[in-house]
Amino acid sequence: MAAAAPPPPPTAAPEPTNMVPLKSPIGLPVFSRIRLATPSDVPFIHKLIHQMAVFERLTHLFAATESGLTSTLFNSRPFQSFTVFLLEVSRSPFTATASPSSSPDFTPFLKTHSLDLPIEDPESYNFSPDMLNDVVVAGFVLFFPNYSTFLSKPGFYIEDIFVREPYRRKGFGSMLLSAVAKQAVKMGYGRVEWVVLDWNVNAIKFYEQMGAEILQEWRVCRLTGDALEAFDKANI
């Protein structure tokens, strides 16, 4: 039987006539915020995952749907299961009290950046949860708890970390990674782990500069699709 066709990529939102690409005049600050994602952010998360699949040359594996993300990502308190941090960028300062995801579990990270060149984002209208305040979703990180028997401590495993192309090489990726690491330290966890594609030399260098150890002797093992379903029929 032929495999079912994957869902189509996310549909672009209609471009508002009064929306312009996000720009930061040279010499003026850009403001960023890392906050907990909420179910209302699923359309942005879905688009980010698709852009990541394009970047990683893995669109043939992309099968995520907005309904699937909504039904699986927000069933537990933050940090107890799947957790998503969103990176937002704006030309106007953020305030902690204005966060759409106010939670006793996490206080948003706020930072001011001084950039040498303006940010040109022609897709800003597709990633704007708050168009009136020029807020644009620039990236995300999705992670969940795992466990180290050698350390006898829990940790975090980062499933995905992604920054959209216009916002790369500006320190936003290190902000996302640092937010997860800080949360791990706060909770007394032993480590944070993730994988990186072997051809992504820039990412490998970036992670090494952040202090991560690249474990060359380990390989990722995966059961999925028909190979996984076969175990349902296997005699054990």
Task: List, for residues 180-201, the tens digit of each pLDDT value.
Answer: 999 999 999 999 999 999 999 9
Confidence of residue 20 (pLDDT cuts 50, 70, 90): very low
Q: What angle do CA 36, 41, 46 make, to 5 degrees?
A: 115
| Rounded average pLDDT over 108-127 | 93
Q: Are strands 29-36 and 83-90 parallel, antiparallel or unpaired?
A: antiparallel
The yes-or-no verdict on residue 223 having pLDDT over 90 is yes
The yes-or-no verdict on residue 208 having pLDDT over 80 is yes
Token representation of residue 185: 């330290």
What is the per-residue pLDDT across 59-82, written as a single tens digit (0 to 9) for each? 999 999 999 999 999 999 999 999
pTM check: above 0.75: yes
The yes-or-no verdict on residue 206 having pLDDT over 60 is yes
Confidence of residue 28 (pLDDT cuts 50, 70, 90): confident
Percent of the chain with pLDDT over 90: 76
The yes-or-no verdict on residue 19 having pLDDT over 80 is no
User: One of 125, 167, 189, 207 is an active-site residue; which one?
Assistant: 207
Q: Of 87-101, 111-125, 135-149, where does the model show the most confidence?
A: 135-149
Active site residue 207: yes
Confidence of residue 1 (pLDDT cuts 50, 70, 90): very low
CA atoms lying within 13 Å on the CB side of residue 117:
8
Percent of the chain with pLDDT over 70: 86
Q: How far apart are CA 218 and CA 121, in angstroms?
A: 38
The yes-or-no verdict on residue 139 having pLDDT over 90 is yes
Task: Give pLDDT, residue 236.
Answer: 72
